[in-house]
Amino acid sequence: MNAHSPAPAVDPSSVAADQLKSVIERIERLEEEKAGIAGDIKDVYAEAKANGFDVKVLRKIISMRKRDHDERQEEEAILELYLQALGMV
């Protein structure tokens, strides 16, 4: 092959198909990992329950820790307002 030879033709649809297949396979692998992790999390909750912890409260705490402090405070203030409006506090 000399310096002026054209590059071999590449079928664009073949390249796109290869990319698509690669993306699909990566997603499938990640979904499998996610299922495994979900199972591990379920096991930890079961262990916590067996040790006397309230799983609903644990889930709430984890949910709260995901949000920043200001967002959490705002939600708590609104909750307090709603509870007062309903005569629950």
Rounded distance, CA 77 to CA 71, Å?
A: 10
| Residue 64 contacts residue 72 (beta carbons within 8 Å) | yes
Model confidence pLDDT, tens digit, residues 12-36? 788 899 999 999 999 999 999 999 9
Q: What is the dihedral of CA 77, 82, 83, 84, to 10 degrees?
A: 90
Tens of pLDDT, residues 42-84:
999 999 999 999 999 999 999 999 999 999 999 999 999 999 9
Task: Provide the sign of the torsion angle of the four alpha carbons 81, 82, 85, 88, taken in this order.
Answer: negative
Residue with tokens 């709430």: 60
pTM: 0.65
* CA distances from residue 75 to 58, 65, 67 in whole angstroms, order as listed: 18, 13, 10
Mean of the per-residue pLDDT values of the chain: 92
